[in-house]
Chains A and B, each alone.
Chain A
């Protein structure tokens, strides 16, 4: 990622909340040079900066693995919780009750979400917890040095591991099967799309699952491997050209023939504009989404873009009818029943 340095004497460029892009940075990455995860971290930084999100309003979550290390590398000014392997969803679910004004951004991996954490992955989706759930998907366990993950394709051959015998788990398909309200797939080699999808995911009210193919340059980047840069570049088949338009911007759609675009309005009034490519894809149709994923699987297409969205469903915390003030700002006066209730409670006992 390149950043234009301000000229000497000129004020640093700031966004609407008065922050420069640097304010969204994190610690230097300790992942491998060229790791897809680093590129995704950069897009998270850009997306938050461009959306004028206050870093203090973001909670970062992760599990265990290379992907789960990455929240250290963005948004230093956000609280973060790097929990247990496969258990990011439950920690996030509880934490996001504390202040529903906060936005959750979770980063997990294919080992973290599709193996050890499959149960929690499906259940956080089923609950429609309001957060961005990124799976940095590389088909391999990195930190333990190159074992197959559950998203590795049949026939993948890895050093020391031999040939993978099992059908892969499709993150996007699992998400849709669990009634996700926002499912997208992208490719770390397509940073522009990654960024737009992250923005849309942040704006989405409810769970937003981003399955991002994020090559592991050390253990699984052979040309013929499904999760490699080369294969991704050769086989990427975007469903549409996608741009995110924040709620505050006036929408100007010019020079586009009717029928060429589709707009999806999100809960906060922002909009995703999808420009059709080869054909018109409707991302609000669950069955069509599953059919398309099945087709992509059969034809070896790396389909990217917004696969499914259902913007109007209430989020998990919505269903709890919470007070407007953040729960974690409530005091004893709000929380401890008054002394005169004690006698009544004792009377209720018998």
Chain B
């Protein structure tokens, strides 16, 4: 056995979809997290309920880089149908665990192979009822793996206890099977691979959460009152988390509710309801994914034009059309930025992890009500559905901003003299009244048709022009309210990188790899559209700015070029998508391909950049090769 490799490798488990492996996989993930090792777990699953192959990939990395890697040092094969592919995917020198009832040829000699008598071990667990045997069988590989790489049994117990919410019976059932797997491995297997885990303290103070749950809880801390939604992968769990946490967090002594969550008949109705509620003064939201957002387009335009506050979460999956419903993407950005027919600008928030899903969950309501406009929050399947290491959720640091609202007393002071679409403050944001207000001057008629400052129907050309100019001004005002980017600069760097959303860890890893090879770079993670002034400053500061994103066409790159045409020549699209969570590999290769020759000795060292890759011709190409 070669030298020990500790806390720096990837594990992939291949199972049959619907076989109950997620409990086992989450147990491994959580146990590693509790050992203090930076870790991520990503479910690479098919659009299927039962039967198709599915994978779960776990990365442990002592340096904190937890983006998906394309290489696997340890593979656990539980599915005969993906066996050959799984076997092939093991890195030379790696380890291959498999259920020994799969009687297939193993032609590789460059890896350590460990058969596991899963069926035999589970049969010996007489306490496991026969109907649960197949589910609990997955715990055998947890035990074998734990024994072979050194996962603490106490951490596994903690993970199971969390999963089963402290219920003794299922905890014992599963834990005993894990132990049986571990004992069998101890007695029968000889360690031949170099991969081990050892406790660290790098997850102290961190939590594990998925973005959808974080978003839901954040929304609740934002005072969410109404959600209309329609089931769609990968957004469903956001609304379901509202239903899980609202009764806990908004519990009242009288048992009554201060909120409503409505499963609508489709996405049109979901947003329609949310707009109705937002118009009537509720903190209102919907959550969906690309196909749903397509259906919501007309309503989004109405909310923009009629100036109705509403929050729209788009947990992006890969499209166009139905696409790959269970795979991730950042492909809805340009669509959302100008959603709807006619001229429109959207306010978009781009959370970078679970903690920001929480933060933007509450902040989005403040923005929507302040700006009286739909606020879109774009996360993605990877962020929304997978467990992420995260900073703990921080209680909102500002009180709720309900925006410019006039109730009875305000109207009394104004002697009823107000106009719904009057730009009284010169910031493009008018004042609104709320249905239910009893002041006789409070009512106005909301419409998607042309309207004047008093909300009266109007086809007058100057009125129309004036209103649209005001809406444009309002979008300018939005810049001062949206979250600023996160910037990490390296002294002496000539290359800037702009990224957003779930790619941060992969980008940081790529930066570290390039820095090691002598190519420094600075990072700006953009967190909102419209762009704040920092974005322009960052582009101006660097010779080249690489725009990293998970889509084909470089959508953020397009938006930046439109916003800053004078700086467009500096911007390079490092865009790639195949449905998989971002990896440092394609980001690094994409950046090196564009890096100017004087900067790219690193690229030669790393053997990635194609010599002579033309800066001019490469403007729109995908980054992968």
Q: Which residues of A contact B (CB under 8 A)?
A: 27, 54-56, 59-60, 71-72, 76-84, 87, 89-99, 101-102, 119-120, 123, 317, 320-324, 326-330, 332, 334-337, 339, 341-342, 345-346, 349-350
In the complex, the answer to whether A90 meets B272 with C-beta atoms within 8 Å is yes
In chain A, what residue has the closest Cβ to B443? A79
In the complex, the answer to whether B223 meets A336 with C-beta atoms within 8 Å is yes
User: Which of chain B's residues have a CB closer than 8 A to the CB of A91?
Assistant: 272-273, 275-276, 279
Minimum CB–CB distance for B191 against chain A, Å:
29
In the complex, the answer to whether B265 meets A98 with C-beta atoms within 8 Å is no
A93 interface neighbour in B249, B256, B262, Cβ under 8 Å: B262
B277 interface neighbour in A94, A341, A346, Cβ under 8 Å: A94
A329 to B409, CA, bound (A): 14
In the complex, the answer to whether B400 meets A98 with C-beta atoms within 8 Å is no
**Interface flag for B252 (CB, 8 Å):** yes
In the complex, the answer to whether A337 meets B220 with C-beta atoms within 8 Å is yes
Stretch of B280-288, B533-541, B542-550 contacting A (4+ beta carbons < 8 Å): B280-288
In chain B, what residue has the closest Cβ to A324? B256
Q: Which residues of B contact A (CB under 8 A)?
A: 30, 33, 159, 162, 207-209, 213, 217, 220-226, 228, 245, 249-250, 252, 254-260, 262, 264-266, 268-284, 298-299, 302, 362, 387, 390, 392-396, 399-400, 433-440, 442-449, 456-457
A96 to B275, CA, bound (A): 11
User: Which of chain A's residues have a CB closer than 8 A to the CB of B439?
Assistant: 56
In the complex, the answer to whether A81 meets B273 with C-beta atoms within 8 Å is no
Listed A/B pairs (16) with beta-carbon separation below 8 Å:
A59-B435, A72-B445, A81-B446, A83-B448, A91-B273, A94-B284, A97-B282, A99-B436, A120-B265, A320-B260, A328-B280, A335-B250, A336-B222, A341-B249, A342-B221, A342-B393
Minimum CB–CB distance for A62 against chain B, Å:
9
Contact flag A90-B277 (CB < 8 Å), given A83-B272, A95-B435: no
A320 to B259, CA, bound (A): 8
In the complex, the answer to whether B257 meets A321 with C-beta atoms within 8 Å is yes
User: Which of chain B's residues have a CB closer than 8 A to the CB of A322?
Assistant: 256-258, 260
Most central of B213, B274, B275, B362 by chain A CB within 10 Å: B275
In the complex, the answer to whether B443 meets A349 with C-beta atoms within 8 Å is no
A178 to B331, CA, bound (A): 39
In the complex, the answer to whether B435 meets A102 with C-beta atoms within 8 Å is yes
In the complex, the answer to whether A95 meets B228 with C-beta atoms within 8 Å is no
In the complex, the answer to whether B443 meets A80 with C-beta atoms within 8 Å is yes
Contact flag A90-B269 (CB < 8 Å), given A332-B223, A350-B207: yes
In the complex, the answer to whether A335 meets B396 with C-beta atoms within 8 Å is no
In chain B, what residue has the closest Cβ to A90? B272
In chain A, what residue has the closest Cβ to B394? A342
Minimum CB–CB distance for B212 against chain A, Å:
13
Minimum CB–CB distance for B390 against chain A, Å:
8
In chain B, what residue has the closest Cβ to A60? B445
In the complex, the answer to whether B249 meets A87 with C-beta atoms within 8 Å is no
In the complex, the answer to whether A119 meets B436 with C-beta atoms within 8 Å is no
Minimum CB–CB distance for A65 against chain B, Å:
12
B254 interface neighbour in A59, A87, A323, A350, Cβ under 8 Å: A323
Minimum CB–CB distance for B413 against chain A, Å:
18
In the complex, the answer to whether B265 meets A337 with C-beta atoms within 8 Å is no
In chain A, what residue has the closest Cβ to B273? A94
Contact flag A94-B276 (CB < 8 Å), given A80-B443, A87-B268, A323-B257: yes
A337 interface neighbour in B249, B266, B273, B392, Cβ under 8 Å: B249
A83 to B274, CA, bound (A): 13
In the complex, the answer to whether A92 meets B446 with C-beta atoms within 8 Å is no
In the complex, the answer to whether A90 meets B442 with C-beta atoms within 8 Å is no
User: Which of chain A's residues have a CB closer than 8 A to the CB of B226?
Assistant: 94, 97, 327
A92 to B272, CA, bound (A): 8
In the complex, the answer to whether A98 meets B223 with C-beta atoms within 8 Å is no
User: Which of chain B's residues have a CB closer than 8 A to the CB of A78?
Assistant: 443
Most central of A90, A119, A330 by chain B CB within 10 Å: A90
In the complex, the answer to whether A123 meets B276 with C-beta atoms within 8 Å is no
A123 to B262, CA, bound (A): 12
In the complex, the answer to whether B280 meets A98 with C-beta atoms within 8 Å is yes
A60 to B220, CA, bound (A): 30
In chain B, what residue has the closest Cβ to A335? B223
In the complex, the answer to whether B438 meets A56 with C-beta atoms within 8 Å is yes
In the complex, the answer to whether B443 meets A328 with C-beta atoms within 8 Å is no
Minimum CB–CB distance for A297 against chain B, Å:
27
User: Which of chain B's residues have a CB closer than 8 A to the CB of A90?
Assistant: 228, 264, 268-273, 275-276
In the complex, the answer to whether B273 meets A80 with C-beta atoms within 8 Å is no
Minimum CB–CB distance for A53 against chain B, Å:
13
Minimum CB–CB distance for A208 against chain B, Å:
18
Minimum CB–CB distance for B229 against chain A, Å:
12
In the complex, the answer to whether B277 meets A97 with C-beta atoms within 8 Å is yes
In the complex, the answer to whether B276 meets A332 with C-beta atoms within 8 Å is no
Most central of B220, B223, B276, B277 by chain A CB within 10 Å: B276
In the complex, the answer to whether A323 meets B269 with C-beta atoms within 8 Å is no
In chain A, what residue has the closest Cβ to B280? A98
A203 to B30, CA, bound (A): 57
A350 interface neighbour in B162, B259, B260, B444, Cβ under 8 Å: B162
In the complex, the answer to whether B445 meets A80 with C-beta atoms within 8 Å is yes
A99 to B407, CA, bound (A): 14
Contact flag A332-B399 (CB < 8 Å), given A76-B443, A78-B443, A80-B445: yes
Contact flag A339-B395 (CB < 8 Å), given A91-B276, A327-B258: yes
User: Which of chain A's residues have a CB closer than 8 A to the CB of B443?
Assistant: 55-56, 76-80
